[in-house]
């Protein structure tokens, strides 16, 4: 059973973090240019409050709408993407007021002694919905070249915007024996998305997987070796994408006076050798792996290494690579703690049972798996969450530096179309010899 006090705090925290992420932006910034990979932020933050009101206050609690016109402007399932820039929306102050009122009412509802499990379930669902979007708002700021967000109580760790690196790379592979693995959420998980339901046995042959994510210096070797013009390294779809875009290096890289730099929000900084490569799409990740004579992991391989506890009897899965508890300070780079990536060798206390590092946080990691349903799939109440994307997207796992700790379980599935480069995604590879 969910702790009502924790849940009420999470409701307010998810709302407040969203407000913090847009507080320094101008009214013009909150609209922004019409791009396929972003939403107008003034619409996006209002949508979050509408979603919470719809599922918790209106449907679970039976209350009347706070906005009589809310469904006509904030329903993402009914309003085409480009239309969102053409809507007549509440003002900034009206939107923030609406967000605040919805959050307070939901927090009060979950604290009621007679609150039902349904109310608390959808309150938690709404918290996580906020959490997905706060990461999206963060990479929207990166996409549009806004300054790094200023978040109360958070300070940048050393070097996230081009400073010295201290933790170095993580080299080598770990051997994983053949096994039958339960892929997906178990019934013991307090919350799971429809696309995680339910755990089912899969046969996983023996394989070897890298202990750490691919670094910027490792990826630079691919760039300097002409990897973007090497047709052999690319899949047919990947080569078609590369030819159409003319890409020659990762999205936010440039060569300046003979030195490589990357753009971190609105700053150009020297490329840090031991940070994970980030903002590469699935085609680039796959091409890099081919160039190295390696491959991307399957989703089942990734989750096995991140979540299983070898030797446990009976077999069990961990909620996080290190165990069942949320990350302790210094255990994972999540929640904007570093305001950017850290070296792939950082946070050794967060290693998985197999000895793989940073399988929670820092960068999402592409898998070779196409996003699809698990056996006996049934959509949740929010039907737009998963089913419409089956077959068209690739699975990423693990979370990034801007993922909320409470969301970044080892079993969490995320998914993007293979050409997306704006998201906080990187690479971990497997050997081909098994």
pLDDT of residue 157: 43
Residues 117 and 171 occupy one common structural domain:
no
Q: Round to whole Å and give the CA distance between 107 and 57.
A: 10
Q: Same structural domain for residues 279 and 326?
A: yes
Burial of 53 (C-beta count, 10 Å sphere; 0-12/13-18/19+): buried
- Of 97, 120, 144, the position where a domain reaches its end is 144
**CATH number for the domain harbouring residue 128:** 1.20.120
- Number of other CB atoms surrounding residue 64 within 10 Å: 7
- 425 within some domain: yes
| pLDDT of 198 over the 50 cut | yes
Asked if residue 248 is part of any domain, the answer here is: yes
User: What would the pLDDT profile of 80-123 be if each residue is shown by its tens digit?
Assistant: 999 999 999 999 999 999 999 999 999 999 999 999 999 999 99
91 and 202 belong to one structural domain? no
pLDDT over 80 (residue 152): no
Residue 149 is assigned to a structural domain of this protein: no
**CATH label of the domain that carries residue 259:** 3.90.1580.10
Would you place residue 75 in the very low, low, confident or very high pLDDT band (cuts 50, 70, 90)? very high
What is the pLDDT averaged over residues 287-304? 98
Q: Are residues 302 and 165 located together in one domain of the fold? A: yes
Domain span at residue 321 reads 154-434
Q: What is the three-class DSSP state of 95?
A: helix
pLDDT for 155 beyond 50: no
| Cis ω before 314 (30° cut-off from 0) | yes
Which pLDDT score, from 0 to 100, does residue 397 have?
98
Alpha-carbon distance 408 to 354, whole Å? 19
Judging by DSSP bridges, how do beta strands 364-370 and 425-426 pair with one another? Answer: parallel
Answer yes or no: do 298 and 396 share one domain. yes
Q: Phi-psi bin for 100: left (phi > 0), alpha (psi -120 to 50), beta?
A: alpha
Q: Cβ(43)–Cβ(84) under 8 Å? A: yes
- Of 144, 172, 202, which closes a domain? 144
Instruction: Tell me whether residue 318 is in a domain.
Output: yes
The verdict on 166 and 126 lying in the same domain is: no
Categorize the per-residue pLDDT at 158 as very low, low, confident or very high, splitting at 50, 70 and 90. very low
- What is the reported pLDDT for 433? 79
pLDDT digits (tens, 9 = 90+) for 350-396: 999 999 999 999 999 999 999 999 999 999 999 999 999 999 999 99
Assess whether 68 and 195 both reside in one domain. Answer: no
Of 155 and 368, the structure prediction assigns the larger pLDDT to 368
Does residue 192 carry a pLDDT above 80?
A: yes
Predicted pLDDT of residue 350: 97
Residue 89 lies in a domain: yes
pLDDT at residue number 215: 98
220 and 297 inside one domain = yes
Strands 259-264 and 253-256: antiparallel
Of 144, 172, 195, the residue that ends a domain is 144
Burial class for 344, CB neighbours closer than 10 Å (0-12, 13-18, 19+): buried
Tell me, yes or no, whether 122 and 165 share the same domain. no
pLDDT in tens, 3-42: 999 999 999 999 999 999 999 999 999 999 999 999 999 9
Rounded to the nearest 10 degrees, the angle between the axes of helix 216-224 and helix 282-291 is 80
pTM, entire model: 0.96
pLDDT for 156: 46
One domain, residues 160 and 69: no
Q: Are residues 163 and 272 part of one domain?
A: yes
What mean pLDDT comes out for the span 296-321? 89
Report which of 275, 291, 42 is spatially closest to residue 159, judged by C-alpha positions: 275
Give the model's confidence band at 160: pLDDT under 50 very low, under 70 low, under 90 confident, else very high: low
Element (H, E) at 256: strand 253-256
Chain mean pLDDT for the chain: 95
pLDDT at position 252: 98
Q: What is the pLDDT of residue 314?
A: 58
In a shared domain, residues 283 and 163: yes
Which band of pLDDT confidence, cut at 50, 70 and 90, is reported for residue 154? low
Number of structural domains in the chain: 2
């Amino acid at each position: 059973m969910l702790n009502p006090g924790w849940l009420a705090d999470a409701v307010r925290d998810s709302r407040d973090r969203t407000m913090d992420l847009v507080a320094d932006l101008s009214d013009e910034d909150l609209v922004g240019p019409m791009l396929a990979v972003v939403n107008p932020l003034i619409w996006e933050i209002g949508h979050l409050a509408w979603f919470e009101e719809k599922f918790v206050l209106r449907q679970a609690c039976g209350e009347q709408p706070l906005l009589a016109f809310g469904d006509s402007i904030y329903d993402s399932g009914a309003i085409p993407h480009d239309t969102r820039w053409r809507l007549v929306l509440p003002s900034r102050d009206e939107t923030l007021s609406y967000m605040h009122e919805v959050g307070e009412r939901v927090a009060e509802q979950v604290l009621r002694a007679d609150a039902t499990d349904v109310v608390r379930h959808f309150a938690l669902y709404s918290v996580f919905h906020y959490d997905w979007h706060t990461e999206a708002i963060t990479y929207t700021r990166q996409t549009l070249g806004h300054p790094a967000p200023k978040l109360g109580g958070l300070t940048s760790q050393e070097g996230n915007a081009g400073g010295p690196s201290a933790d170095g790379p993580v080299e080598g592979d770990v051997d994983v024996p053949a096994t039958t693995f339960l892929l997906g959420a178990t019934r013991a998980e307090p919350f799971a998305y429809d696309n995680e339901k339910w755990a089912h046995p899969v046969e996983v042959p023996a394989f070897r997987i890298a202990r750490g994510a691919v670094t910027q210096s490792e990826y630079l070797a691919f760039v300097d070796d002409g990897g973007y013009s090497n047709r052999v390294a690319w899949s047919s779809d990947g080569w078609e994408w590369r030819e159409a875009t003319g890409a020659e290096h990762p999205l936010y890289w440039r060569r300046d006076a003979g030195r490589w730099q990357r753009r971190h929000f609105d700053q150009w900084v020297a490329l840090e050798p031991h940070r994970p490569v980030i903002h590469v799409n699935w085609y680039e990740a796959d091409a890099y792996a081919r160039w190295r004579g390696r491959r991307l992991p399957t989703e089942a391989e990734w989750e096995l290494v991140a979540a299983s506890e070898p030797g446990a009897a009976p077999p069990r899965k961990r909620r996080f690579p290190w165990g069942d508890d949320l990350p302790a300070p210094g255990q994972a780079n999540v929640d904007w703690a570093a305001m950017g990536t850290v070296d792939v060798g950082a946070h050794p206390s967060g290693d998985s049972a197999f000895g793989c590092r940073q399988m929670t946080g820092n960068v999402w990691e592409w898998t070779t798996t196409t996003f699809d349903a698990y056996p006996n799939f049934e959509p949740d109440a929010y039907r737009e969450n998963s089913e419409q994307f089956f077959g068209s997207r690739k699975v990423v796992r693990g979370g990034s530096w801007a993922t909320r700790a409470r969301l970044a379980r080892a079993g969490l599935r995320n998914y993007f179309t293979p050409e997306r480069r704006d998201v906080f995604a990187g690479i971990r590879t497997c050997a081909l010899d098994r």
